Chains A and B, each alone.
Chain A
């Protein structure tokens, strides 16, 4: 990634966090490309049989994209929060474009029955999870945010705690019940 791009990403993230939706359109392709590069890296490692600190990897995605010196964030936590939100947007969009079908999504029968390859299957589950998360948002915004940070943003328990200004124990407890709720939601479908 070039200097100029790094600068752009930083600025765009700031713009987006300030409510500029146009910034998102510019961010997405840059971030997605970076994500893909890292995904390759990940897949290679996975093939080679290495387990990987994926959390670190995801963070790396962002840290590589922004010039940390020029971050004008309120703090590191804020940055992660925005990043997770962005990741959610990008990943769910990606999943949507990738999955031929999703459950109950009003797509016609033919497509529903088309060869769902494993990755598409996973993609459709990511979409389902995103929708369930929207439901959760209505009854428990904090839990929804925790899942967003951890699942979409790839944050550790400690990092999520930092972003939300709560204790790691709270994150763990909330994560556990949120997971049970989401699992049940998805299993219902």
Chain B
């Protein structure tokens, strides 16, 4: 365009714009006569003018403000303890700087978040959760996140600084070789594997996020962070210029998976796709899916297949091409399902390629004992006390060679296991590393061994070359290396020679006897040896079929070499396993004599064979019940070969367990697992002992770990079933047993186990059918009479149970040895016949402290309920209620009572309970459909709160909101059952309504929580505040009604009002309300629907929450802690007036550690609720004031005592804490949790114990007088005395010299007063802290600094809410508020730093600079940290680990 033409156009444009739009056409008709292009130009510009709107109306400066604020960290800027050195780069997620951690002097990378992200509080919260989770990832290939912090508005992440380049930068230089490519891809796959196992999906795998160190080591960045940047994958128009934030990107287009491109949910397979793309790009030099715009790329991803790799590079191996294709399958079900599979393929290929290469080189050069390759080894290797010998690698992929190389490895392991000073990893673990590319040092670290031996074998026609290298795991140095050449037939000579050479290299003390043992060859016969190896391999699988195969192999070995003692042991062990508890297809009388005979043969050949003594011990224990002999044999075996894992395993499992020495048994088994970490039988049987020890949670965790190694290992499948059964999780138990039946071939055991679960879960018919089936099978196979007894016991038929136990005794059934500890026979213990049986077997009647039934935890709800159902089938009517009551009382858990109230005659007559949900983490907010047939509720299982739908009884779950990454919760069925109202955080949050199948969600309000429907479905009530922990509420919740038709909103009350519900006839609204003043509690109120004066329903000193109306409107049910713990109560109410009549009555009576929350009625009279159980235990972790926490947390206490609020004794050796629950007692224990002692074994409540500085006394608050008062007791439990007479009080920290206690007196507010613990209350000279400027606030001292000058404490708002921490200077008499959040500040011994806790995080605060940072974060979102304690040397931190679990239950209150 020329200037002249523009002037012409501009002139016309101006004139046209001055006219009204309708007049413009006429004007242009005239002005542009004959020049249609002129007219088109002007019209186009008129159009642009009309659309330009705010375009460039805001100055560039403002447009760019966002980015200007980001990049403002100039060198020298301090962010917390970090000083910026320079900028490393910019990314979509913000800028990255090189910084120095001034505390540690180390370089770190610091990433800032774009300011516009942090404007969204919800997003920031989500980001922090994600980042916290990611920061817990500890993997060599994942960049370590050190800290997630915030200074003012600036959010940042600090992570490990990696000096290197990104894969993107690397790819720009030269093409990667195939080997490099495989190495990078394997490292990334390994990183992904680690993250996926921790539940974190990366979401944005791309070359920019892959760092390559100068030495080639690969580290991945930004785990889980991509979630923050995720918006809808809509490709935007450019026309929103500058004024609105276009919803542009998402992931990174070329690396996005089809499911991401479609905006579907993502999972670990998404990362696998992206890695596939990166792999393709490394090989081809370009990404597989390209296009000039994002939308083109997305189209390609969704619809096109990439160009075949060989077109770019001919030398790409076919296998690699196949691997890439498999990663890039558009249907994610066809892709690699796990990073583990992907990694395995990559590594196998890499290994094969390397080996081929090496072989080519070595075959030319190797001649016997090549001096050039001779040892340059360090002359000494002191302190090597543990060793892993990795599977020798070999060049021939043929099976013969494999057994050969395995054989050498295993027999070297066997030989070296004899050395008492050396822990050698067992073959069954090592063998799992076969055929894998391994970093020896990494393996060494995993196994915690000091040295690793690797070997390579190369065979050419008649020569065998073995190259060996011994590496120090600590520093990676080579301790020794050597080459051996021999004729394949002479391999056994070489082996002995190598073993003794290694032991010398390790400078182990070797006695002559040891040397003799080392020189011993199990067999000279190679064939026999191969057969033996195959036999052991099959034996380890523990199925009937495999073990029978093993027998054949061992027999073959014996045929080839009749003097091969180990082969006899193998034979014996096979019979033992076939005839014992786990497979039991052979009757013990058929199995044991054979085993015994084989063992005797072995011992006749070599009576120093540890393996044989172990097997003999097993025979004595399991068949002869000759316990003395059994112990003797096991001990002998352990002397002969301390490194024999099986000896530790069986000694623990067969002997110690039988005698109830369960802790010792577990320790013994754990040592076996140390030697043989990947052993499936050992891992699983540890779980079984935990089960026998009633440590079900730990047992389940142990089984899960084992299943992760191999899902098809049959023992674990039925053992986990047993545990589920004992926890009352019958559905899970049945599934587990059914799986075991599928896996276990002819073994009848899982069927017998299943029959018991059927019996327990009320499926008597199925149980009896199975018993019949087992009866038929027993003609052909052995059926364990013990397990049949267990079924009859579950059916309540004691006589049959004992009859079958007698059969078990006669046939010497393998299960009998655990009679003293087995939970399945608990109900029979009181019987004389039982004690008689124990005596006859030679087992103690009471075996040490018998673990009682666990009395807490959600699992128990199930078992109790199960008991009730079991009886439902056999009794009826009133008898049922009575029986149920007794049963529940005896379980000490759940009692259903109906108190005699005004209307009890009309009260519910039949009551039953049913657990509806079993998801991981808490399930909250149940809402029953009006017909009582379905339920919706919220669960966080998917990572965010989602609403789940379940048809009661079928167990199938539907996640109705799975497509939304935002939290969706508080669902409420509409009265017609067709719709669900719920709270969602989508688009800024609000109340939504969707169809009952999750369809057509629509927002009905942009505010509000806890929606509930009017009876005519026309209106929805909401409160304006989320339901929080009642004690931590910041604001007032208003009560609003939303009319769904008109959209009109009406405020009914200014509040405070939460969880409002309409009465059934729409007369009143019930809700609960927070008290205005401290010391008062939450209570239930009602208000007329039209508004007006609220009427109180409850009052008193209890917390009453969550009212729901009974369907007839005659009662209000609510959750209340009256009676001590949170339960369901009800009160009769007049729906018109809100006037209550009669007293509140308890509907449920749960144990102290269970809270009942979130009630929902169906119209048919069923009541659903969440039962939440917190489990508290003490843990410890190393601490270093400069570095924060060190190492991993260690469990101090385990079990059901619910200990918390720990305090450490001055010498650091003892702890005190109190138990939470109905009985709140003060305990002392050693710092490792042993020697627990109840110091206050009485019926009162006690809390907050504190050691006196001399360690002799403990101050605590006790309710012995009715009010909490300060008491002191000597550490040995003597000298209990009351100190205060204050009519209520709180915490009581001692001063460092023990002469003072800062005691918080419970007045209308709280007054912290300093007293002398040794004076009578009447003689006290109270020293008051100075008045707070805001008189409504109060301060409670929690920790006294070592110099006695300062008191750290907690700030209370008038309503009792803890609102941050501060310090009181006792000299200056001034307060200094450090934070407005957090709790439980404790001083470090430097009088300067404090630790405090907030929401699962422990912070370290410098009281001088007032800066604080996180030192410890619990990432599991359902876990919280209670108050911490710190040892006086500041090296050990104790804290309470509080895990929450909540399941939904259904209670049927229907009148008949």
Roughly how many angstroms separate A187 CA and B93 CA in the complex, as a whole number?
A: 28
Q: State the main secondary structure of chain A at its contact with B.
A: helix
A80 within 8 A of B: no
Quote the shortest CB–CB distance from B334 to chain A (angstroms): 26
List which B49-101 residues lie within 8 A (CB) of chain A: 49, 51-52, 55-56, 58-72, 74, 90-93
B238 contacts A186, CB within 8 Å? yes
Determine if B1018 is an interface residue (Cβ-Cβ < 8 Å). Answer: no
**Which partner residue on chain B sits nearest A98 by CB separation?**
B67
- Taking CB as reference atom, which chain B residue is nearest A129? B56
Q: Is the CB of A116 within 8 A of B48?
A: no
Contact of A55 with B by CB under 8 A: yes
Over the window 148-189 of chain A, the binary record of Cβ atoms lying under 8 Å from chain B Cβ atoms (1 yes, 0 no) is: 001111100000000000000000010011011111101101
Known contacts A125-B241, A139-B2, A181-B45: A116-B69 contact under CB 8 Å: no
Within 8 A of B (CB), among A110-133: 110, 112-123, 125-126, 129
Quick check: A54 and B46 within 8 Å, CB to CB? Answer: no
Chain B residue at minimal CB-CB distance from A61: B61
A117 with B52: CB separation less than 8 A: no
Give A122's nearest chain B residue, CB to CB. Answer: B63
* Contact indicator A117/B229 (Cβ below 8 Å): yes
Partner among B56, B70, B250 whose Cβ is within 8 Å of the Cβ of A179: B56
Chain B positions within 8 Å of A47 at CB level: 119, 153
A113-B252, A118-B245 are known contacts. Are A152 and B60 too (CB-CB below 8 A)?
A: yes
User: Contact at A110–B168, with CB atoms within 8 Å?
Assistant: yes
Chain B residues near A40 (CB, 8 Å)? Answer: 69, 72
* A121 and B49 contact, CB distance less than 8 A: no
Instruction: Tell me which of B48, B49, B71, B115 contacts A43 (CB under 8 A).
Output: B115
B1329 within 8 A of A: no
- Interchain nearest-CB distance for A26 vs B (Å): 16
A177 touches which of B45, B249, B287 (Cβ 8 Å): B45
Assess whether A117 is in contact with B61, with CB atoms less than 8 Å apart: no
Chain A residue numbers with a CB within 8 Å of B60 are 87-88, 91, 126, 129, 151-152, 154
Asked whether A121 lies within 8 Å of B68 as measured between CB atoms, the reply is no
Given A154-B61, A180-B48, the answer on whether A122 and B242 have CB atoms closer than 8 Å is yes
Interface assignment of A13: CB less than 8 Å from any CB of chain B: no
Alpha-carbon distance A110/B290, docked complex (angstroms): 9
Give the residues from 26 to 48 in chain B that come closer than 8 angstroms, CB to CB, to chain A. Answer: 44-46, 48
Contact partner, B13, options A109, A125, A177, Cβ 8 Å: A177
Contact of B59 among A121, A152, A181 (CB under 8 A): A152
Q: Please, which residues of chain B bring their CB within 8 A of the CB of A154?
A: 59-62
- A119-B70 contact in complex given A54-B62, A152-B60, C-beta closer than 8 Å: yes
A78 within 8 A of B: no
Say yes or no: is B579 at the interface (Cβ < 8 Å to chain A).
no
Partner-binding segment picked from A4-12, A31-39, A65-73: A31-39
Q: Do the beta carbons of A110 and B254 come within 8 Å of each other?
A: yes
Contact for B56 among A87, A100, A110, A182, CB less than 8 A = A182
Instruction: Assess whether B61 is in contact with A119, with CB atoms less than 8 Å apart.
Output: no
Measured CB to CB, the nearest residue on chain A to B252 is A115
Q: What is the 8 Å Cβ interface bit string for chain B, positions 309-352, against chain A (1 contact, 0 not)?
A: 00000000000000000000000000000000000000000000
CA distance A107 to B1057 in the complex (A): 59
Residues B153 and A44 in contact, CB atoms below 8 Å apart = yes
Interface residue count on the A side (C-beta < 8 Å): 62
Docked-complex contact B61 and A176, CB < 8 angstroms: no
| B114 part of interface (Cβ distance < 8 Å) | yes
**A152–chain B nearest beta-carbon distance, Å:** 5
Q: How far is the CB of B835 from chain A (nearest CB, A)?
A: 72
The reply to whether A118 and B66 form a contact with Cβ atoms under 8 Å apart is: yes
Q: Which A residues lie within 8 Å of B701 (CB)? A: none
| A24–B49 CA distance with the chains assembled, in angstroms | 36
Partner of B246, one of A46, A55, A121, A177: A121
Contact B48 A87 (CB under 8 A): no
In whole Å, how far is A95's beta carbon from the nearest beta carbon of chain B? 6
Taking a contact as CB atoms closer than 8 A, the residue among B61, B69, B208 that contacts A114 in the complex is B208
Q: Is the CB of A119 within 8 A of B66?
A: yes
- CB of B116 within 8 A of CB of A118, answer yes
Which of A42, A88, A125, A140 is in CB contact (< 8 Å) with B3? Answer: A140
Q: A113-B253, A125-B242 are in contact. Are A119 and B116 (CB under 8 A)?
A: yes
Say yes or no for A94: interface residue by CB 8 A criterion: yes
A77-109, CB under 8 A of B: which get 1 and which 0? 000000000011001001100101000000001
Q: How far is the CA of A125 from the CA of B241 in the complex (A)?
A: 7
Please indicate the chain A residues that have their CB under 8 angstroms from the CB of B168 in the complex.
110
Instruction: Give the shortest distance, in Å, between B967 (CB) and chain A (any CB).
Output: 23
The answer for the CA separation of A151 and B52 in the assembled complex, in Å, is 14
CB <8 Å contact, A117 and B10 = no
Q: When chains A and B are docked, how far (Å) is the Cα of A44 from the Cα of B14?
A: 39
CB of B17 within 8 A of chain A? yes
Is there an interface contact between A98 and B249, defined as CB atoms closer than 8 Å? no
Q: Which of A46, A55, A109 counts the most chain B CB atoms within 10 A?
A: A109
Bound-state CA distance A152–B1 (Å) is 25
What's the nearest-Cβ distance from chain B to residue A145, in Å?
A: 14
B297 within 8 A of A: yes
Which B residues touch A98, using CB under 8 A?
64, 67, 71, 90
Report the minimum CB–CB distance from A113 to chain B (whole Å): 4
Distance in angstroms from B73 CB to nearest chain A CB is 10
Contact among A61, A114, A126 for B64, CB-based, below 8 A? A126
Decide: B64 and A117 in contact? CB cutoff 8 A: no
B248 within 8 A of A: yes
- Which of B6, B7, B119, B248 meets A116, CB within 8 Å? B248
Q: Is the beta-carbon distance between B49 and A176 smaller than 8 angstroms?
A: yes
A183 adjacent to B3 (CB under 8 Å): no
Interchain nearest-CB distance for B601 vs A (Å): 71
Cβ contact of A180, chosen from B13, B59, B63, B69, cutoff 8 A: B13
**B780 in contact (CB, < 8 A):** no
Query: What residues of A have a CB within 8 angstroms of the CB of B92 in the complex?
Result: 100, 114-117, 120
Could you tell me the distance in whole angstroms from the C-beta of B133 to the nearest C-beta in chain A?
21
A95 near B56 (CB under 8 angstroms)? no
Q: Is the CB of A94 within 8 A of B51?
A: no
Chain B residues within an 8 Å CB radius of A184: 44-45, 48
Given A42-B65, A118-B245, A118-B246, CB of A179 within 8 Å of CB of B252: no
CA gap between A123 and B70 in the complex, in Å = 13
CB neighbours of B119 from chain A (8 A): 47
Instruction: Verify A35–B61 contact, CB threshold 8 A.
Output: yes
Q: List, in ascending order, chain B residues with CB within 8 A of A88's CB.
A: 60
Residue of A32, A118, A151 most packed against chain B (CB within 10 A): A118
Chain A residues with CB under 8 A of B90: 98, 100
Closest CB-CB distance, A112 to chain B, in whole Å? Answer: 8
Residues of chain A with a CB closer than 8 A to B91's CB:
115
Give the docked Cα–Cα distance between A112 and B780 (Å).
72
Query: Mask for B1121-1138, Cβ within 8 A of A = 1, else 0?
Result: 000000000000000000
For residue B18, which residue of chain A has the nearest CB? A173
Out of A113, A119, A179, name the residue touching B67 (CB < 8 Å). Answer: A119
The reply to whether A91 and B61 contact each other, CB–CB distance below 8 Å, is: yes
Q: How far is the CA of A177 from the CA of B9 in the complex (A)?
A: 10
Q: Besides the contacts A95-B67, A115-B250, A129-B60, what 14 more A-B pairs have beta carbons closer than 8 Å? A: A39-B66, A54-B58, A54-B62, A109-B254, A113-B252, A118-B66, A119-B66, A122-B63, A139-B1, A151-B59, A177-B17, A181-B45, A182-B56, A189-B238
Closest 9 CB pairs of A and B: A115-B92, A154-B59, A39-B68, A180-B49, A184-B48, A183-B52, A39-B65, A119-B67, A36-B72
The 26 listed contacts between A and B (C-beta, < 8 Å) are A36-B71, A39-B66, A43-B65, A43-B115, A98-B64, A100-B90, A100-B92, A110-B254, A113-B254, A114-B252, A115-B229, A120-B67, A122-B64, A126-B63, A139-B3, A147-B56, A151-B59, A152-B59, A154-B62, A176-B49, A180-B48, A183-B55, A184-B44, A186-B238, A186-B241, A187-B239
Instruction: Spell out B's residues near A (CB within 8 Å).
Output: 1-3, 6-7, 10, 13-14, 17, 44-46, 48-49, 51-52, 55-56, 58-72, 74, 90-93, 114-116, 119, 153, 168, 204, 208, 229, 238-239, 241-242, 245-246, 248-254, 287, 290-292, 294, 297
